[in-house]
Each structure stands twice: as structure tokens, then as C-alpha cells.
Structure 1
Amino acid sequence: MKRIETERLLLRSLKIEDAERVEELASDYDIAKTTLNIPHPYPEGSAAPFIKSMLEAEKENKMATFAIIEKSSSSLIGTMSIGNNTEHKRGELAYWIGKPYWGKGYGTEAAKAVIRYGFDEFGLQKVFAAAFTDNPGSWRIMEKIGMKHEGTLRNHVIKWGKSVDLHYYGILKEELK
């Protein structure tokens, strides 16, 4: 079982038992509007299949997904994953943090640890991430952990029937502080 500790967080493997809390947090409209793949309304019972799919991808060594646990409350506050593209030695960082926990630096703290995990455990040479251009909370996390803005892809995805631009950020292993 994966486990990373930071000053205020425990990052551990997701478990099926986390499904109810994932649904509770991911059901917030403000979470859904900032992510590509979280629907709104969040369908009841859909967190367990999501968690199962993440665990299956881990078995195939394609990614690592973490439950982000606030140590002081022992509460799951979000999730974070890092992909493992072994051919190109790169991985995509993806995350969401429950709205009650925004603005507390938890995303930045978790992202630093998960990027290091990707470099150390997967042997990645690069980690990249994307965020909607109208989601500064997400791309500011990327900047705070040392990722560099690599470009903006215009009308790159469709979210709720509307074309959306994405900021892409990346960090190389040798740039990690």
C-alpha cells in the first residue's frame, strides 16, 4: 500500500471504503466545474466504480492514485494521481481538493510529494499537468511547486457543451527542488 506523509497530510492508496466521502465532496458544483471528468450532478454510487478503475490502472503500473487525508481530522479531502507513461518517462498529475479545503495550501503540499513519488518510484523524467484557464486555483498550485507554463491549448476540450482552453505546465526531474 502506498503511503506518503507530509507535514499536514497523509497520502495513501484509495480504498473502496472512501467512495461515500469521494461522492460527498465531488458532488459540489464548484468541484465539477473545475475538472474535466467529474460530472454534475455526481451520480450516486459512481465513486466505487471510479475507485475500482484507479486501482486496476495501478495494478497495471499505469498510475498511482492517492487519497489525500488531512492528518488533524483524519478526513479525506481530495484525490491526486500521477500517470506512468513508461515509454516516454512522463506522467500527468491530476487532482481535486474538496471545496471546504481550498486556499489552505493542501493541493500544493500534496502535489510536491506526488511529483517526487513519480520521479522516484516510476523513474519519470517529466511531470505535466493541465488546468482550465479560468481555474487559477489549480494552475497556481502548478506554479508554486515549480512547474513551468508550457503553453495554452485553445478550445482543447469540451466541458458541458462549451469549448474550453487549457493551460499546460511541466517540470523536469532535474528542476525539482
Structure 2
Amino acid sequence: MSVLYTPRLVLHPLTDAHIECEVELDADPEVLRFLYGRARSRDEVLASHAARMEEGRRAEGLGYWAAFLGDAFAGLMMLPPGPDPGSAELGYRIPRALWRQGIASEASRALIRHGFEKVGLRRIFAQTMAVNEGSQAVMRAVGMRYVRTFHPAFDDPLPGSELGEVEYEITADEWAGS
């Protein structure tokens, strides 16, 4: 996987050297409010990290990156393969201290560019809870368009899940025309 650069950020392919950054990020329940509704234990983070590393080994050019703003960890950025060939799912998790500073949008644009121009994807999508306005604002800011609202069944639904999940996407043709 490539190191990606933006005007402010460097996105390094995720490695075991980034585990402590992930542990600290997932220790903030607000960061995970729309994912898990709570902070995650170190063991949970380690298990997720191991799964990400394995998935990254199987997907040429796709996977997970640790974003840095200078020397400061600025988030976990995700572009793993999607369910269909030629697709990938965009994701981002930013430390609360860096919210509303354009970090997620800037890093997402770099991942989208990488996905279309280097990997050759046809479609990049993202999903979040309908009540997660912040994440949807990032999706719109990077040129994604609303596709659908859907209502998955959850064993332990989070507050707001009754409003469903939303999906946004951008295609290679849309990216090329923007």
C-alpha cells in the first residue's frame, strides 16, 4: 500500500506500530457513539487491528491507513474492499480534538483519489447511521451522493437506529468529472 499525502496530512499504511493510536482513539466513547455506542476495550481494539491487518494483506492497494498531522495521530482512515468487485467502502475515525477541522474530508479525498486513480475502482461508498450528521457532511463534502436509507436488524440497537442507516457513493466517472 502507498503512503498518501495531502496538504496537511500523511496517511501511512496501518501497521502494528499504530496499535496504541487505535487504542487511544477507541477509548473515547464519543468517537464510537455511532458505531458501538461505547468505548472499546484494549482487547477489542487488538482483535479489530488484527482483522484489519489480515484484510489489508488480501486487498491489493486497499485497506487501512493511520493519518498524521505533523507528528500527531489524526485518525484511522479506511478503504477496504466492498462486497462487489471494483468497489470499496470509505470510512474514517478522527480523534475528537480534531473534529470540525476538515481532517476527515481531506483524508477521504486522498483515499478516493487513490482508489480511483491507482487501484482502478469503479465505486466507493460509505454508510453511517441516519442520525450521524457529521459523517454525512463529510460524505457530501467529498462529492459523494446519497443513495439510500436502509433498516438493518441489530441485536443491541443504538439510540437513533430506528431512523436507519444511510449510504452514499461516488463512481469513477463522477470523480473524473468533478
Per the shorter chain, which TM-score range? 0.7 to 0.9
Per-residue CA shift, 1:90-114, capped at 9, x if unaligned? Answer: 1111111111110000000000000
TM-score by length of 2: 0.87
Contact 2:10 2:67 in 1 (8 A): yes
Helix, strand or coil at the partner of 2:68: strand
Contact 1:84 1:118 in 2 (8 A): no
- Decide whether aligned partners of structure 1 residues 87 and 22 sit closer, same or farther in structure 2, where only a CA change above 3 A counts: closer
Contact 2:64 2:78 in 1 (8 A): yes
Q: Which amino acid aligns with 1:142?
A: M
Q: Name segments (4+ residues, structure 1) moved above 6 Å.
A: none
User: Where in structure 2 are there 5+ consecutive unaligned residues?
Assistant: none
Choose which of 93, 118, 122 in structure 2 pairs with 1:121. 118
Tell me which residue corresponds to 1:41. 39
Tell me which residue corresponds to 2:142. 145
Contact 1:27 1:41 in 2 (8 A): yes
Choose which of 52, 55, 58 in structure 2 pairs with 1:54. 52
Residues 1-177 of structure 1: matches in 2 within 5 Å? 1-35=1-35, 38=36, 40-61=38-59, 63-71=62-70, 74-85=71-82, 88-153=85-150, 155-158=151-154, 160-162=156-158, 163-164=161-162, 165-176=164-175, 177=178
Contact 1:129 1:170 in 2 (8 A): yes
Which one is further off, 118-127 or 85-94?
85-94
TM-score by length of 1: 0.87
CA RMSD of aligned residues (A): 2.0
Q: 1:45 deviation in Å?
A: 3.6
Contact 1:12 1:67 in 2 (8 A): yes
Contact 1:69 1:78 in 2 (8 A): yes
Helix, strand or coil at the partner of 1:142: helix
